[in-house]
Chains A and B, each alone.
Chain A
Amino acid sequence: MVRFLICVLVIVMPLVCSGFQLAEDVEPLDPFLEVETEQAAFLQQNENMLRVELKSYFQQNRLKQQHPFNPSNEDIFVDAKQVNIMDFTVVSSWDNNWSMKIRQDLRYQNESVESNLANSDIEPNQSTLLEGLLRYKSDDNRLGIELGRNKPQWSTGISFDIANILQPQRSQPYIDVDSVTSYQGWDMISTQYIDEHWSIGGYIVESESPFLTGDRELVVRFAYQGDNSVSILLNQVEGADLTYAATWSRLLSDNIVFRSEWTLHDYRLSNSLNLEESKSYQRLMTGIAITFASGWSLFAEYLYNEHGASPAEWRELTLETMLAAQRLRMEQSNNLAQDFSLTFSGLDFINQGWLRKNYFSLLMRSQEVSDDWLWMFSLQSSLDDDSLLFRFETAKNLSDNLSIRFQGELFDGCELCEYGLNPNQSTMRMVFSWLF
């Protein structure tokens, strides 16, 4: 509780402090008298684009002494990680109507257990096609057709993007922005038609849902853009009933945005929890974003997640896994296969996000100025067990090409609480990015 309060204070503090700044008053000189017209810079903007980014990061994890789900007496969790990524994007247009986009990454990853990078498993030269699509748009820009690998995102949420129904479950509490695979799309054919404030879209997608066996899914989206922007999504996966989603956002004032999302599934987004009979599962996200005069922005969101474990389910699952891991560690297991299965499904379960029913997130971000430090403080709290994840991030562009970012995470909660179950007590990551 005290830690929660401290975290909230740390997040809100920059806003309070940003009001106290003094500086000399001098007559500003016109910079355009020195810097002559930048017409050449504007002319560089054309339809064809090649973007190449080399990103390299090192992450150090401070592990918990003994994780309750660890079936071994030795550490099994990664305590250091080094990743080098080359991210290529090519966009090419032939005329006003046809274009193509390809985004491919090349990764070299190095992970270690017990801080020994030399003995780690090395998986170099992994490569993934993140996006690869052929695009047609009509002369009046109303009709668009896309064929290939694509990643449409329909959510307006910051921490809880539940309306992105093609990616039903977060793999982590936060999207790992440095992992380019989080940008990997799905193979699909899609079309959209725009008519003034309205748009309608249809998507036929090769399904990759881990919760259903169907090969294909269909999404239809209706959207209205205005003071109240709303969208309705219908998702049909082979072998399941319709899934519904809706989004709503509204500008409450010149500096406050309200947003809300809702989804309804007839199946549970979890392989570890049982289906409840005749039950449909809802999610609701609601939140606001406030921009302050100092340039700082605050985002607050609440998530209700009916797919998450109830207190009884959580107790049963965590206790069973913990006892199975304990039996394996003490070599007292009577059924090795079952205990290993229980342990690994427990470990797999905690590797996902949104495991419980109620969440709250708070994020504070400084104004984005390309040559200045960007600051971000945030927390996500699982309200069902009072555990939380606090996150700190700062980034700066050192030049047009080079940028650095430092991030730290702190997991807090009881041993069998959601964020307390994370194998890390804290993590630190240093990221270097070179944009060619």
Chain B
Amino acid sequence: MHKLLIIFFFGLLLMVTFTSHSFNGSSLTKRQITGDNLDKLAGEVDKDTQNSLTLAEAQQKLNYIDSLRGYDKQGFSFHLTNVSYKQDKRQTVNRLMVKVMDEQSLVEYVSPKRQKRRKILKQGNNMWMHIPGTRNILRITPAQRLIGQASNGDVTGTTFSSDYDVMSITLEKHQGNAQGKDEGKDQKEVIKLELTAKRKNTAYQKIIFYLDVETQLPISSDFYSRSNRLLKRAEYREFKKYENQLKIHKILLTDPINQGSYTWMKFDQYRKHDINPALFHKDSLLR
């Protein structure tokens, strides 16, 4: 009887987990768009709206967004400070040093004191964590929250051009934030870039970027679950030049469900340098 109950519980748990991902899957457009058919689709989109841009342009803009967080295949490092608020009350600050090479990242905690020297390794979509004082290396999920609204994936970075396909690109009046705030006020024309994940079961199945028409820089992005629920909004508040290249300097992450909960992220000290590939092996985390 006891065993039956556990099997039932496991089954229920798995069912709830998977159905929560697959519900509303049909509400998302299932078209996967890559390379050759981008322009064809752009034509289709043009029939619907006079404001559409070509999807080849969209891909270019996506590459540009990626370049604001990295240096393509070149290894680099940066410092990251996260300040998290809950119910508008300052909750916690942590500081991280991040090394990146291609699709791999290594994050090391500088503070708070109790988490100092904690390390997180990301390779593609796989992530591992080592907590000092222990000798275990734990496999963790990209969706696991690191601090406040920032997930492991936010900190280690996502290469949008390789992880997402462009679904559409349009010009539209900026509607403020996703909840419609500022609606009716002085609305500015922005580029709306809609992306969909290449892989199933990613934490953010759809992302919508709003880009400034003049500077082409991202203003904000909305992150949606597979069930088309808005999970998170990122506002790109400041950019800064490092070694003559423009990089994202400050991001504000807000939680649309728990209003008053938000996280500020400050990226600083971007530096290009060669990084030893063996550092990105989980067995290296103990050295």
* Residues of A in contact with B (beta carbons under 8 Å apart): 1, 4-5, 8, 19, 21-26, 28, 30-32, 35, 37-39, 41-42, 44-45, 49, 51, 89, 135, 137, 140-142, 144, 151-153, 155-156, 161, 183, 185, 192, 194, 196-197, 199, 201, 223, 225-227, 229, 249, 251-257, 259, 289-291, 293, 295, 297-298, 300, 302, 358, 360, 367, 369-372, 381, 383, 386, 397, 400-401, 403, 435
Given A23-B258, A358-B3, output 5 extra A-B contacts at Cβ < 8 Å: A19-B257, A31-B83, A37-B268, A257-B141, A401-B113
Task: Give the contacts of B74-116 with A (CB-CB under 8 A).
Answer: 79, 81, 83-88, 90-95, 97, 108, 110-116
> In the bound complex, what is the Cα–Cα distance between A45 and B3 (angstroms)?
50
Contact of A1 with B84 in the complex, beta carbons under 8 Å: no
19 A-B residue pairs with Cβ-Cβ distance under 8 Å, sorted by A, are A23-B88, A24-B260, A32-B250, A37-B268, A41-B111, A45-B108, A135-B287, A140-B276, A153-B134, A225-B126, A225-B281, A227-B126, A251-B125, A251-B142, A253-B201, A253-B202, A290-B17, A370-B94, A372-B91
Task: For B139, give its contact among A259, A371, A401 (CB under 8 Å).
Answer: A259
Is B219 at the interface (CB under 8 A from chain A)? Answer: no
> In the bound complex, what is the Cα–Cα distance between A41 and B127 (angstroms)?
26
Contact of B139 with A28 in the complex, beta carbons under 8 Å: no
Task: For B201, give its contact among A252, A372, A400 (CB under 8 Å).
Answer: A252
> In the bound complex, what is the Cα–Cα distance between A153 and B130 (angstroms)?
11
> In the bound complex, what is the Cα–Cα distance between A367 and B34 (angstroms)?
37
Task: For B110, give its contact among A26, A45, A291 (CB under 8 Å).
Answer: A45
> In the bound complex, what is the Cα–Cα distance between A25 and B179 (angstroms)?
11
CB proximity of A291 to chain B, nearest CB, Å: 5
Is B28 at the interface (CB under 8 A from chain A)? Answer: no
- Across the two chains, which residue of chain A brings its CB closest to B225? A293
Task: For A370, give its contact among B112, B132, B133 (CB under 8 Å).
Answer: B112
Contact of A28 with B262 in the complex, beta carbons under 8 Å: yes
Contact of B281 with A199 in the complex, beta carbons under 8 Å: yes
> In the bound complex, what is the Cα–Cα distance between A435 and B287 (angstroms)?
23
Query: Interface digits, B244-255 against A, CB 8 Å rule (1 contact, 0 not)?
Result: 000000101010
B242: which A residues are within 8 A, CB to CB? none
Task: For B203, give its contact among A255, A297, A360 (CB under 8 Å).
Answer: A255
Contact of B141 with A291 in the complex, beta carbons under 8 Å: yes
Contact of B92 with A293 in the complex, beta carbons under 8 Å: no
Contact of A253 with B21 in the complex, beta carbons under 8 Å: yes
A381: which B residues are within 8 A, CB to CB? 2, 6
Is B269 at the interface (CB under 8 A from chain A)? Answer: yes
Task: For A400, give its contact among B113, B231, B269 (CB under 8 Å).
Answer: B113
Task: Give the contacts of B252-278 with A (CB-CB under 8 A).
Answer: 252, 254, 257-262, 264, 266, 268-269, 276-278
B side interface size, CB within 8 A? 86
Contact stretch, chosen from B51-59, B65-73, B144-152, B206-214 = B144-152
A256: which B residues are within 8 A, CB to CB? 17, 141, 201
- Which of B13, B144, B148, B260 neighbours the largest number of chain A CB atoms within 10 Å of its CB? B144
Given A259-B139, A295-B145, A300-B10, A24 and B259 touching (CB < 8 A)? yes
Is B159 at the interface (CB under 8 A from chain A)? Answer: no
CB proximity of B221 to chain A, nearest CB, Å: 16
Is B198 at the interface (CB under 8 A from chain A)? Answer: no
Given A28-B85, A290-B17, A293-B225, A370 and B115 touching (CB < 8 A)? yes
Query: Interface digits, B3-14 against A, CB 8 Å rule (1 contact, 0 not)?
Result: 101100110010
Contact of B258 with A257 in the complex, beta carbons under 8 Å: no
> In the bound complex, what is the Cα–Cα distance between A152 and B135 (angstroms)?
6
- Across the two chains, which residue of chain A brings its CB closest to B143? A255
> In the bound complex, what is the Cα–Cα distance between A435 and B114 (angstroms)?
8
CB proximity of A179 to chain B, nearest CB, Å: 13
> In the bound complex, what is the Cα–Cα distance between A335 and B231 (angstroms)?
71
- Across the two chains, which residue of chain B brings its CB closest to A138? B278
> Lowest 10 CB-CB distances: which A-B pairs, in order?
A253-B201, A23-B260, A254-B203, A255-B143, A141-B278, A153-B135, A371-B92, A25-B259, A31-B83, A291-B141
Task: For B141, give its contact among A141, A226, A251 (CB under 8 Å).
Answer: A251
A37: which B residues are within 8 A, CB to CB? 268
Contact of A400 with B112 in the complex, beta carbons under 8 Å: yes
Is B61 at the interface (CB under 8 A from chain A)? Answer: no
Given A8-B9, A370-B115, A194 and B284 touching (CB < 8 A)? yes
Contact of B277 with A26 in the complex, beta carbons under 8 Å: no
Contact of B113 with A42 in the complex, beta carbons under 8 Å: no
B276: which A residues are within 8 A, CB to CB? 140-141
Contact of A300 with B264 in the complex, beta carbons under 8 Å: no
- Which of B137, B148, B278 neighbours the largest number of chain A CB atoms within 10 Å of its CB? B278
Is B15 at the interface (CB under 8 A from chain A)? Answer: no
Is B216 at the interface (CB under 8 A from chain A)? Answer: no
Contact of B269 with A32 in the complex, beta carbons under 8 Å: no
> In the bound complex, what is the Cα–Cα distance between A369 and B114 (angstroms)?
11
> In the bound complex, what is the Cα–Cα distance between A38 and B264 (angstroms)?
14
- Across the two chains, which residue of chain B brings its CB closest to A25? B259
Contact of A251 with B17 in the complex, beta carbons under 8 Å: no
B3: which A residues are within 8 A, CB to CB? 358, 383
B192: which A residues are within 8 A, CB to CB? none
A251: which B residues are within 8 A, CB to CB? 125-127, 139, 141-142
